[in-house]
Structures are given as C-alpha cells and as structure tokens.
C-alpha cells in the first residue's frame, strides 16, 4: 500500500508538471510512512515539504494541489476514504472501508501464509549466530543472538530468501587446550564447575587414549556441544542447519591457504618473530597478529578469515553474523577482509548485541546456584521458560542493553508483555470456541466493521505485510514483539468496546467474528516468527 500511494503521488506531480501548474524538476523518492498517531490517518507523506523549493510554492499549497489531483483522478472513494492536508503541508491518507475489508479477506484466505512474499527472490543467505566457545554452557552475552537470529531466519524465509543457519564451533586452539588442562585438573586449569567435574569423570571411561591437553580439550568440546549446547538450543527452539567445525579448516588446509593468500597480496610482514596482517591499510586502528612469535600458533583471526572465505565459496549471496559486543573489533576486521581482500562488497552484515543483566527481587543475579558458576541460558530458561526468554530477548534493538527481570517475566498481569500478548491470543481462541458452540459463522461482511476500534484492528492487519518486508530489509527483529504488543492493545480495546457474539445482531456479529479470526491468524503468525507459543487457553 505504501508503494501504491507513493506511485499515485508521483503520477499526480507529473500531471501537475505536464499541465504547467508545477515547473519541471526531478521528483525525489517519495516517502510514505505510517503516522505515530492514528488521528493523522493510515499513511502520511511529507513530499510537499521536500519539493517546495523546486516547485517554487509553499508546501501547503503544493499539498493542496496534489490532493486536488488525486481527488480528480478518483482516488477518493477508490482506496481513500479521505485525504487531508495538515500542518505545514503533510498529506494524510485515510483508507476506504473497501480496502481495509479486502485486507481482512486476504488474511482469512491465506491464513498463516499472509505476509509471505517473493521479496528475497531466492537469494541465498547464511546466518551465523551464538557460536559460543564450546568450553562451557552458553552464557547470556552470546545467548541473546539466538532468539534474534532464529527469528530473523524465519522472517527472511517468509520473505522469499533461501536461508541456512550455522553455529561455528571453536574446537581448535588455545581455549580448547585450556579446557583440556581444566579437565585434567593440572596447574594450567582455568575452567571450573559441575560440568568440568562431570567431564573429568567421563574421561576415565571414554575411548580417548591420549591424555594430551589438546586431545582432551577437543574430546571435551564435542561432549559440551552434544550434552550442553545443543540441548539448550533445542529447549529455546533455536534451530541450526549446520554445526561448522573450526578444526576442519585446519585439517583441510584452508587456514594455511589464507595465510598464503595474504602473503601473496603483500598484506603481511614480520616483526618480533611474529607474522602481522596490515589491517591498518583497511581502516583498522591497529595491525593484527596472524602467527605468534613461536612461528606455529595462529591467532583466531586466521581461521576467522578462512571460515568466511569458505562461506563465500559455498555460494551464499549474503552473510549475516550476529555476535556479542565483545566481538565488535574482530567482527569489523573480518568484514574488511571479505570486502577489501576478497573483493566482496556489501556481502557481510553485522548485528552486534549488547549485554544482558538478570534481575531478581531487585538484585542482579550473576551466579548460578545450581552450578556455582556464571548465570547461563539454561539457568534462565529453567527459571522463566522458553517463551519469556525468546520474547524478551527479541523485544529490544540489539544495540540496547537488557535488564531481564525474572519477577516480571513470571507475573501473570498486563505488566508482563509476554503474558499480555499470549493472553490476547487465548482470548481470541476463546471467543471463536464460544461462537462455534453457538453455531455462529465467521463469514461476515467486512464493510460492516466501521467502529473506530474495528478499523484500528483492520489497520494493524494491513501493516503486518509491510512490517515483514521492512524487517527483511534492515533485520530489526524487535519490530515483531512490539507489533504483537500493539496488536494486543488494539484487541483488548476492541473487546471492551464492541460486543462480538450478539444473537440479536447476527450480521454484525458474524463480521466481528471474521475480524477476530483474522486478528488471531496474524497474532499467531507473529508469535511463531518470534519463536513464542500461541496458547489456546490460559
């Protein structure tokens, strides 16, 4: 609808130019947006303010001329109930009842596929997220990327992209050796906790013959992936298509090949017996060590480069990496490598998440009582459940810090956004069950839905498809839980003002039941994309 309105505005301006009411000028991209306040219509445009200088007229006069042209062309009564000129020259558009009714008809017809499109045209996207070192349970810094990444993958698929999700397993290098030392409980041990004790006991009965710390660490990393990381991802409904091993990059020679490539391009130098990458040539604040002074140990930068080269060689058009704030510097280096060394511009997109604080009874929780170590994702799911974690982790922009209040997440009231939205769905399901018991049909006439609360719900249904496309463009997943809350607000307001099941006014009742059915479809699909259940009863 935004595009259609923009096209009609552009056509009106062109006609005004052709009839010499406006001078000739290049028409800029016309922005049509949803106003923050419903009183300003379903859509608004500031085009008159943008072109006022080129047109040589004041914005309000321009807006009036555009309105007259749109009205003369029959748009009023066609898709618009009315067009208003407001303020200094804003054009506000109120959609016709017919258009809103057709949206509801489309929702009912398409059901869960409403909002789906071929916007992505089958382009291949590889999304990497979480990728926590397999040296222990998933901590909350990395965990935040899980719900965001999983939801974004679902949204992109709904928008016509071919999407694969991947967890990069750091099962090689110093941190794995340290893990081995920790399980052997020698003087170089660093990791502690119940899971380390369990692995130490398991080592005694394992098939592993070597007690070399690296070998033990590699074995333990595999155990942690299978027994700790994969199960908690499953509990959180976070799906990965691939579990990619860093070790495989070393064994295949891809790490060595990247070092050779950088040397071949004269992008390395030696200093203090170490090999350095000339990353300052590409805007980095410092050069990065590739091979340490022992001449053998490569830093994590080299396998990171090799991994992204491997991703591109698998034929993906876009690489989306979701990483914690502590990875910001390294993520930027990898992106520059892809762009400036491999020559692949505008391929890597970075989503950097900020930190999560867990609050309980007004106090920050840092330690797991069960394990005696840091508070992890599985601790949080155990406290509040998967739905609360998924919703709250997705509710805020990744650049915002989260204070996750356990008490609030467990509260059964409208203060708890997860409960509030799920209760809205349960209410919809309850109304439809009651209607079925009464033998009422949901095949009503949408043109009867003229009450302001009914129109407000119809407007939300209209905006859902645009929401999906916008999120597929800029990856702002937090729009969805915010939309769900907004839709729940409109529903509860409608329910308070409009009697749905009314045997004395059967036609209106059927139309309202149709509306309830459509809202349920959209709310359930929104919750599915967030990864949250849509309960039938609460």
What b-and-e string marks burial along 93-110, b requiring 16 or more CB atoms within 10 Å of the CB? bbbbbebbbbbbeebbee
Each residue's pLDDT tens digit, 11-35: 999 999 998 889 899 999 999 999 9
If one counts every other C-beta atom within 10 angstroms of the C-beta of residue 360, the result is: 15
Which of 200, 204, 194 minimizes the C-alpha distance to 228?
194
Q: How confident is the model at residue 75 (pLDDT cuts 50, 70, 90)?
A: low
Each residue's pLDDT tens digit, 152-202: 999 999 999 999 999 999 999 889 999 999 999 999 999 988 899 999 999
Q: Torsions phi, psi of 188, nearest 5?
A: -100, 10
Which pLDDT value is given to residue 371? 65
Q: Torsions phi, psi of 171, nearest 5?
A: -105, 40
Whether this prediction's pTM lies above 0.85 is answered by yes
Each residue's pLDDT tens digit, 259-290: 999 999 999 999 999 999 999 998 888 999 99
If one counts every other C-beta atom within 10 angstroms of the C-beta of residue 271, the result is: 10
Q: Which residues in 343-481 belong to E strands, given as ranges?
A: 348-353, 356-360, 363-365, 402-405
Domains of the chain from N-terminus onward:
2-95 (3.30.1360.70), 417-530 (1.10.730.10)
CB-based contact 168:383 (threshold 8 Å):
no
């Amino acid at each position: 609808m935004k595009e259609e309105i923009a096209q009609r505005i552009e056509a009106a301006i062109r006609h005004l130019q052709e009839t010499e009411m406006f001078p000739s000028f290049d028409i800029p991209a016309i922005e049509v947006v949803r106003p923050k306040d419903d009183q300003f219509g379903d859509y608004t445009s500031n085009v008159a303010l943008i072109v006022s200088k080129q047109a040589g007229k004041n914005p309000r006069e321009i807006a009036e001329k555009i309105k007259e042209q749109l009205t003369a062309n029959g748009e009023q009564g066609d898709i618009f109930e009315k067009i208003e000129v407001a303020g200094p020259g804003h054009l506000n558009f109120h959609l016709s009842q017919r258009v809103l009714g057709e949206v509801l008809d489309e929702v009912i017809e398409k059901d869960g596929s409403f909002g789906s499109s071929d916007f992505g045209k089958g382009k291949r996207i590889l999304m990497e997220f979480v990728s926590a070192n397999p040296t222990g349970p998933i901590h909350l810094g990395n965990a935040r990327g899980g719900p965001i990444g999983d939801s974004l993958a679902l949204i992109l698929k709904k928008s016509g992209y071919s999407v694969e999700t991947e967890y990069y397993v750091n099962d090689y290098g110093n941190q794995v050796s340290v893990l081995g030392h920790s399980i052997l409980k020698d003087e170089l041990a660093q990791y502690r906790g119940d899971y380390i004790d369990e692995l130490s006991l398991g080592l005694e009965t394992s098939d592993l013959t070597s007690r070399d710390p690296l070998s033990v660490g590699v074995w333990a990393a595999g155990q942690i992936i299978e027994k700790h990381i994969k199960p908690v991802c499953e509990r959180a409904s976070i799906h990965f298509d691939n579990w990619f091993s860093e070790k495989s990059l070393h064994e295949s020679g891809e790490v060595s090949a990247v070092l050779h490539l950088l040397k071949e391009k004269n992008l390395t130098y030696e200093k203090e017996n170490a090999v350095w990458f000339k990353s300052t040539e590409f805007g980095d604040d410092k050069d990065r060590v590739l091979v340490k002074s022992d001449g053998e140990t490569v830093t994590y930068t080299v396998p990171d480069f090799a991994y992204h080269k491997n991703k591109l060689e698998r034929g993906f058009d876009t690489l989306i990496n979701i990483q914690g704030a502590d990875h910001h510097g390294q993520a930027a280096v990898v992106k520059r490598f892809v762009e400036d060394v491999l020559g692949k511009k505008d391929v890597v997109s970075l989503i950097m998440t900020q930190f999560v604080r867990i609050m309980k009874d007004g106090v920050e929780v840092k330690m797991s009582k069960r394990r005696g170590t840091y508070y992890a994702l599985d601790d949080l799911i155990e406290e509040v459940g998967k739905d609360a974690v998924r919703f709250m982790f997705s509710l805020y922009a990744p650049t915002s810090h989260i204070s996750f209040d356990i008490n609030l997440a467990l509260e059964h009231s409208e203060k708890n956004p997860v409960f509030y939205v799920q209760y809205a769905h349960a209410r919809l399901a309850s109304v439809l069950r009651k209607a079925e018991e009464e033998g009422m049909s949901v095949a009503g006439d949408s043109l009867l839905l003229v009450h302001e609360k009914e129109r407000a719900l119809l407007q939300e249904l209209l905006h859902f498809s645009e929401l999906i496309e916008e999120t597929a463009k800029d990856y702002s997943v937090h729009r969805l839980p915010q939309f769900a809350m907004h839709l729940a607000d409109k529903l509860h307001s409608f329910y308070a003002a409009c009697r749905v099941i009314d045997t004395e006014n059967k036609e209106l009742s059927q139309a309202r039941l149709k509306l309830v059915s459509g809202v349920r479809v959209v709310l359930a699909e929104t919750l599915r994309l967030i990864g949250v259940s849509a309960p039938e009863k609460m």
